[in-house]
């Protein structure tokens, strides 16, 4: 637990400095209050210092673990996608793909490397990394993360903390996102130096707020950008059009499942995809692999032949035991024969039930949060209604102390904190984090987005 001890050492140091600064520097208090108000979409108007005022610290060894593990898993995901696109019916059936998912697998794709923009949701403690989810549709955070770093740079506490150790901010997601978009736009065969851009975002969905931050960054670099619902664009045989705005570089800010729900209203968008006229980040076929049943593929001996030894090593260490949920026999993580329905009922505190397709932590059931009676009803309803769910091991997410204000008094509250590694163009770039008091760490459930610093030398 050597790495964890280093992290805990600097957590304590930060909180001590925070305490001193809070009571000795009025500007520090004013900044904290203003920052909380500006980010009311995260804090929901609550009167507390945002947890982003305490970063997550990672060591160099942890950073190397994150890099190796996430890149190996991305490589494994590509192989699953390739099998699905090639028409591996056994795998398609195993994952329970529907007609809409099968259709987008057939769409042509201009890219050789198409995993431009991916976010892992992980639990990291010491040198144990566990992947909870992989966001392949539109991994939120690039705009907000840089915004928080820029505000952090104004804090006097940073200079004081840096006297004890050298730290490196996990900064620059907007720029690497921008460069990745242009690089792959050119590699897809398009030639415009400053292409117009359309960001497709569902009108009815309240999340994906950082699309505005990304829009501003692209505009700062000389591009014309609009944000619009995919049902409101037209297609002229070459470009998507909204008003007098034409574009073929398209950033997708929604899950494909949300697109399927309004497919009939998005015919022009679908036609442009079928004609291979767009540079779309990320391609829709990747959204199929985003289904959580992919975890069941990676942890099943049946499909181990797909992966290299390196990939299998990272899968075995980092991917949680997962099965497609139902009343049938399978194996537990030790290879013991079990009935999944019986196993779920008898091991409530050790498992999580998740929709195979979904986002925002919706309809995710963490067994330890329910009474036995409530849990049995949840399970019976899933089986009765034939919902497409997975059963997965629950992993305990570490907790750290964060500053909070109650009635103008400073206290330090314990909150769970996860790790959000970002992959850009199939390579690990940096990570963020989220903090919450509950078991589900999602912004839609009240979690607060945070930033990470890498400890470069432990003194």
- For the chain, the distance separating the N- and C-terminal CA atoms, rounded to the nearest angstrom, is 17
Is residue 441 included in any domain, yes or no? Answer: no
Is residue 327 included in any domain, yes or no? Answer: yes
pLDDT digits (tens, 9 = 90+) for 11-31: 999 999 988 988 888 877 777
User: Strand pairing partners for 229?
Assistant: none
Kindly state the percentage of the chain with pLDDT values over 70: 90
For residues 50 and 6, the model is more confident at 6
**For the residues 417-430, what does the mean pLDDT come to?**
93
pLDDT digits (tens, 9 = 90+) for 294-317: 999 999 999 999 999 999 999 999
pLDDT digits (tens, 9 = 90+) for 223-275: 999 999 999 999 999 999 999 999 999 999 888 988 999 999 999 999 999 99
Helix (H, G, I), strand (E, B) or coil at 328: coil
Is residue 231 included in any domain, yes or no? Answer: no
Show the DSSP H helices in 39-141 as ranges: 40-43, 60-86, 89-95, 99-105
Q: Residue 357 sits in a domain of what CATH number?
A: 3.30.1490
Do you know the residue count of the chain?
459
Question: What does the pLDDT read at residue 459?
Answer: 66
pLDDT digits (tens, 9 = 90+) for 325-369: 999 999 998 899 999 999 999 999 999 999 988 665 578 899 999
Question: What does the pLDDT read at residue 43?
Answer: 39
| pLDDT above 70: residue 445 | no
Beta-carbon contacts of residue 162 (< 8 Å; ≥ 6 apart): none
Is residue 371 included in any domain, yes or no? Answer: yes
Is residue 162 included in any domain, yes or no? Answer: no
Rounded Cα gap, residues 437 and 414, in angstroms = 7
Question: What does the pLDDT read at residue 279?
Answer: 93
- Tell which residue, 282, 313, 266, has the closest CA to residue 138: 282
Question: What does the pLDDT read at residue 211?
Answer: 86
List the domain range (segments joined by +) for residue 366: 321-393
- Tell which residue, 66, 95, 65, 69, has the closest CA to residue 83: 95
- Report, in angstroms and rounded to the nearest whole number, the Rg of the chain calculated over CA atoms: 23
Question: What does the pLDDT read at residue 443?
Answer: 55
User: Using an 8 Å Cβ cutoff, are 378 and 335 in contact?
Assistant: no
Question: What does the pLDDT read at residue 192?
Answer: 92
Question: What does the pLDDT read at residue 441?
Answer: 64
Helix (H) or strand (E) holding 215: helix 211-220
Question: What does the pLDDT read at residue 440?
Answer: 63
What is the residue-averaged pLDDT of the chain? 88
DSSP state at residue 301 = G
pLDDT digits (tens, 9 = 90+) for 426-444: 999 999 998 877 766 655 5
Backbone φ, ψ for residue 49 (5° rounding): -70, 130
| pLDDT above 70: residue 408 | no
**For the residues 137-153, what does the mean pLDDT come to?**
80
State the total domains in the chain: 1
Angle between helices 2-24 and 26-38 (to 10 degrees): 110
What band does 45 get if pLDDT is binned at 50, 70 and 90?
Answer: very low
Rounded Cα gap, residues 363 and 11, in angstroms = 33
Rounded Cα gap, residues 137 and 453, in angstroms = 26
User: Using an 8 Å Cβ cutoff, are 114 and 283 in contact?
Assistant: yes
Rounded Cα gap, residues 40 and 138, in angstroms = 22
Is residue 219 included in any domain, yes or no? Answer: no
Kindly state the percentage of the chain with pLDDT values over 90: 62
DSSP state at residue 262 = T
DSSP state at residue 103 = H
pLDDT digits (tens, 9 = 90+) for 56-115: 999 999 999 999 999 999 999 999 999 999 999 999 999 999 999 999 999 988 877 778
What band does 410 get if pLDDT is binned at 50, 70 and 90?
Answer: confident
Is residue 303 included in any domain, yes or no? Answer: no
Question: What does the pLDDT read at residue 405?
Answer: 65
For residues 1 and 384, the model is more confident at 384
**For the residues 119-148, what does the mean pLDDT come to?**
89
Is residue 451 included in any domain, yes or no? Answer: no
């Amino acid at each position: 637990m050597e790495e964890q001890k280093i992290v805990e050492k600097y957590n304590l140091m930060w909180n001590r400095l925070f305490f001193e600064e809070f009571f000795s520097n009025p500007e520090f208090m004013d900044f904290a209050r203003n920052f909380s108000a500006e980010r009311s979409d995260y804090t929901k108007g609550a009167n507390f210092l945002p947890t982003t005022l305490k970063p997550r610290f990672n060591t160099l060894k942890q950073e190397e673990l994150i890099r190796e593990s996430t890149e190996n898993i991305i490589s494994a995901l590509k192989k699953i996608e390739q099998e699905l696109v090639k028409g591996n019916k056994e795998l398609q059936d195993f994952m329970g793909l529907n007609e809409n998912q099968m259709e987008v697998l057939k769409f042509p794709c201009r890219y050789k490397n198409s995993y431009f923009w991916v976010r892992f949701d992980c639990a990291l403690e010491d040198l144990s990394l566990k992947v909870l989810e992989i966001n392949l549709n539109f991994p939120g955070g690039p705009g907000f993360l840089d915004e928080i770093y820029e505000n952090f740079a104004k804090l006097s506490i940073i200079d004081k903390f840096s006297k004890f150790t050298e730290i490196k901010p996990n900064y620059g997601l907007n720029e690497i996102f921008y460069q990745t978009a242009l690089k792959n736009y050119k590699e897809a065969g398009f030639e415009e130096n400053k292409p117009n851009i359309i960001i497709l975002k569902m009108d009815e969905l309240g999340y994906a707020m950082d699309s505005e931050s990304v829009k501003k960054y692209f505009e700062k670099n000389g591009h014309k950008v609009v944000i619009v619902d995919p049902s409101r664009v037209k297609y002229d045989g070459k470009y998507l059009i909204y008003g007098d705005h034409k574009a073929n570089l398209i950033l997708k800010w929604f899950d494909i499942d949300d697109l399927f729900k309004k497919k009939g209203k998005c015919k022009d968008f679908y036609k442009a995809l079928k004609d291979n006229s767009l540079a779309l980040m990320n391609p829709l076929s990747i959204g199929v692999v985003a289904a959580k049943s992919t975890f069941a593929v990676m942890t099943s001996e049946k499909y181990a032949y797909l992966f290299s030894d390196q990939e299998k090593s990272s899968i075995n260490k980092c991917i949680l035991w997962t099965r497609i949920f139902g009343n049938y026999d399978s194996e537990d993580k030790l290879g013991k024969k079990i009935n999944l329905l019986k196993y779920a009922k008898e091991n409530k505190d050790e498992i999580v039930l998740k929709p195979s397709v979904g986002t925002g932590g919706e309809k995710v059931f963490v067994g330890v949060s329910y009474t036995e009676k409530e849990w049995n009803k949840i399970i019976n309803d899933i089986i009765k209604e034939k919902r497409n769910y997975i059963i997965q091991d629950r992993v305990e997410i570490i907790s750290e102390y964060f500053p909070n204000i109650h009635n103008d008094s400073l206290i330090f509250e314990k909150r769970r904190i996860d790790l959000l590694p970002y992959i850009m163009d199939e390579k690990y770039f940096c990570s963020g984090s989220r903090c919450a008091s509950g078991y589900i760490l999602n912004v839609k459930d009240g979690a607060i987005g945070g930033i990470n610093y890498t400890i470069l030398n432990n003194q």
